[in-house]
Structure 1
């Protein structure tokens, strides 16, 4: 790729990108046939034939495994707490993974720019494999939570590498196809998690939800080593042929590492998420525990933003983990905010729906997880349909995003109208379909836009930013939803049950089914009201997507087949 490529979107100014600028980004070519930014140099690291297909399959399997881990615990938490106790703290089994899964995305993506994609992917996969084995061997809830932190660190690296590699391995004309496959696999993994977790819980021990990752990754590690392009990523683009430990610790590489940016980003993520988590488990928003953690995240955020502005505009090194160019451009920042908002809807629905069927309707884990299919399958279907609309039919991405937002709002509002606890209202399946379709539209549209609106040097961090903020949105959404519903559920349960019984139900909700019929209906109604309150919060996240979509608005269509590759 030649170095005189004209940038498709001006990034060194604070002005918003116009429709014309986006069009230039979508169709940028010159007389020498240079490729759109984000493509790899075919001569240096192209793989073809069976190696390319095997590399793609390996990435998709790894993505499936790490993404499934983000939701598989939703139907196994009750079984885990039956053995270890501590239901009110059990959400940390989910949150610990999500925190590191989303907290390191941009950091690990930038690190792969320095070491090369293959070497980084091998390291991340090894971390994920070892920590999965440790999760399966845990002897206490605290041990399991600690190992889930480590598991998320490896998983987020795999996700970051896999996503950017899909853009680097294939020409632009194939992006809609492969990104639809990629987003469909992600969504199916999120939905398969509760299903597999429920099946394993009913048929054996919950430990296998973690141990199953080990043999799969043991096979994939040598596969990745032999078939994945050795120089894929930044080292080849800078002419450096030494990819691995030597290159990683060279003075040239170390001065590229944005240590302060990585530290402040991670610190802000951990403090904010932990504060929200404490509110989720029952602490008041005004308590010292919650308020101190949330307020402590503000200086980290401020330092992070100032530092990223400084290294982007005033320094050549280090390479910023979150380039200020992302904030200067309205389309880019709109995409990032929308990813955050739709992430809240996706992850809260994925966790909430099966838990609602278990607590409100008394279903076992596997049947409850099956009820999630009407939402999850349509998220995957919406992703594929969205890619087809933008790629084949040239529908402008912003129209796809807006339509998906409207579907989410309608579906979520209708879900708040479900009131019957004595039977399952089948209308809610249609509402879940609408919500899932809307989420799928946004997921695919926002991901597919990345290589068109991000600079080539920002491709890894750009794709990571979209996924990281989507996961961060899910983490924040889960914390807000639970912190709203848990105090309400506890307060209303105390009106009809003794404190000891209330504490037992909050520790082990499966005990609901042992209550007498009259109290049983009342208690289920209390839990249903809590889930409805969570859904109302999601309506707010969906409505907020409307002004954000207008912020990134353009009528231009993405036309990758017109880019010469």
Structure 2
């Protein structure tokens, strides 16, 4: 069921990734895309904070997820395009793309660690006097173990989980606020035209082919001399 409830978020993320490339297909609009994507993420998270109760499974939350997911998808595609534009040399593009990929993994790991810490602190603060030590340890190992508790304790755990989720969303919203400010620094009066980037790529391909041809000719000449 969790995957179904997250489908609006994941689907909108895929749509945003496609739109990010389409927006900058003819003109370099990556800066505006980054700013718009960060604003969409902030808007989606801000709206999510209004539906943070234990019984907040309302249709509106799926719309909020879609807004946030659209911003994430736009950010992914725009970041990839910016990396391609900012690296003039073909040898630097692979390094830059690898750095962006590692940054995403690192950011996800840090975010997951922060959310786990927030969850554990929230659980210890509000459930320490209501559950046994063994039950708390079970919740820390697997939050789904709360489904095995009695009904009255299960409702309490559900409320605490909703409170922890609300705190995590607020922290993410603060991070997105910083992201909006950082995106503003990508604005340029005269952004690099995409045709220049395309011509650079073609020149790199021709030069690489030329160097390979020269190497082949040199090897062939050396072979004839040996024979």
Match of 2:51, SS? coil
Question: Is the alpha carbon distance of 1:511 and 1:477 closer, same or farther for their aligned partners in structure 2, counting shifts above 3 Å?
Answer: closer
2-side partners of 1:541 and 1:421: how far apart?
Answer: 24
Q: Is residue 160 of structure 2 the alignment partner of residue 526 of structure 1? A: yes
- Indicate the SS of the match to 2:170: helix
Any conservation in 1 of the 2:83–2:97 contact (CA below 8 Å)?
Answer: yes
Aligned mate of 1:414, from 24, 47, 61: 47
**Residue aligning to 1:184:** none
Is the 1:481–1:537 contact (alpha carbons within 8 Å) kept by the matching residues of 2?
A: no
Q: 1:545 pairs with 153, 172, 179, which one?
A: 179
Residues matched between the structures, number? 198
Unaligned ranges ≥5, structure 1: 1-366
Paired residue secondary structure (1:553): coil
Alignment of structure 1 residues 433-452 onto 2, 5 Å: 433-452=66-85
The CA deviation at 1:380 is 1.1
Please report how far the alpha carbon of residue 505 of structure 1 lies from its aligned counterpart in structure 2 after TM superposition.
2.5
Distance in 2, Cα, partners of 1:378 & 1:395:
23
Provide the C-alpha distance between the structure 2 equivalents of 1:559 and 1:381, rounded to a whole number of angstroms.
Answer: 25
Of residues 180, 194, 197, the one that matches 1:560 is: 194
| Mapped contact 2:146–2:154 kept (Cα < 8 A) | yes
- Aligned counterparts of 1:405 and 1:423: Cα–Cα separation in 2: 25
Distance in 1 (alpha carbons) for counterparts of 2:142 and 2:109: 23
Residue 404 of structure 1 pairs with residue 37 of structure 2? yes
C-alpha distance in 2, partners of 1:408/1:433? Answer: 10
Work out which of the residue numbers 459, 462, 466 in structure 1 matches 2:96.
462
> Distance between the aligned counterparts of 2:132 and 2:84, measured in 1?
58
The answer for the alignment partner of 2:216 in structure 1 is: none
Query: Aligned runs of 1:463-478 on 2, under 5 Å?
Result: 463-478=97-112
Deviates more, 1:461-470 or 1:417-426: 417-426
Q: State the partner residue of 1:425.
A: 58
Q: Does the 8 Å CA contact 1:450/1:462 hold for their aligned counterparts? A: yes
Deviation at 1:409, TM superposition (A): 0.4
How far, CA to CA, are the matches of 1:511 and 1:475 in structure 2?
23
Q: Distance in 2 between matches of 1:489 and 1:549?
A: 35
Asked if 1:504 is matched to 2:141, the reply is: no
**Per-residue displacement from partner, 1:526-555 (whole Å, max 9, x unpaired)?**
011111111111112211112211222214
> Please, what TM-score do these two structures have when normalized by structure 1?
0.33
> Matches of 2:7 and 2:192 in 1, distance apart?
31
**Aligned pairs for 1:61-80 within 5 A:** none
C-alpha offsets along residues 377-424 of structure 1, whole Å, 9 cap, x if unaligned?
A: 1111101111111114x3621111001011000101111222343462
From the superposition, tell whether residues 505 and 478 of structure 1 become closer, same or farther in structure 2 (CA, over 3 Å): closer
Aligned to 1:494: 128
2: CA distance between counterparts of 1:439 and 1:538?
13
Match of 2:6 among 358, 369, 372: 372
Q: Is the 8 A contact 2:17 2:74 kept in 1?
A: yes
What SS does the corresponding residue of 1:416 show, helix, strand or coil? Answer: helix
Q: Which runs of 5+ in 2 are unaligned?
A: 203-227
Higher helix share: 2
Quick one: distance in 1 between partners of 2:179 and 2:11? 22
User: Deviations 1:418-442 (Å, cap 9, x if unpaired)?
Assistant: 2343462221111110111001111
Higher-RCO chain (CA-CA 8 Å, sequence separation at least 6): 2
TM-score, scaled relative to structure 2: 0.79
Pairwise CA RMSD of aligned residues? 2.0
Distance in 2 of aligned mates of 1:416 and 1:452: 36
